[in-house]
Amino acid sequence: MFTKSNLTYIDGRTSILRGVLDKACTIIQKSIPSLNVFLEEVYVGYDGGNDSYEAFHDGERIVINIYAFLPKLVKKNPSQTMVHDFVTVVTHELAHALMPNAGHGPGWRACHMNMIMQVMRTLEN
């Protein structure tokens, strides 16, 4: 199940995680404005019972599996580390969107690392 804005909240933790994901996407958008069109295609999913993956890109959209992040949320005030986790996951999938046939090869890695570096520069300022 994935939706843009009508995620059925299992409990308050999914709402918190959705807010952290939104913050991560905002950071990416401010760091790399040219990715805005791709960020509009980031959706929340909840694959209950399956934490074996955090996200995927299906060629059209990026789906973040919120269920996989529940164990990382130990309190209702998530740490900055969790924001960074979402930034890493979203940029990972954005690299797949930008380089659809690159797998996890050197071109994909360079693309992903470039995005991470741009986000880091923004966070330093």
- pLDDT at position 51 is 92
- The radius of gyration computed from the CA coordinates of the chain, to the nearest angstrom, equals 14
User: 0.75 exceeded by the pTM?
Assistant: yes
CA-closest candidate to residue 17, choices 104, 76, 105: 76
- pLDDT at position 76 is 67
Q: How many CA atoms within 13 Å lie on the side-chain side of 33?
A: 0
Q: Cβ(55)–Cβ(65) under 8 Å?
A: yes
- pLDDT at position 112 is 98
- pLDDT at position 1 is 40
Q: Which CATH architecture has domain 2-124?
A: 2-Layer Sandwich (3.30)
Mean pLDDT in order along the chain per 10 residues (125 residues): 45 88 96 96 94 96 95 79 95 97 97 98 91
- pLDDT at position 10 is 56
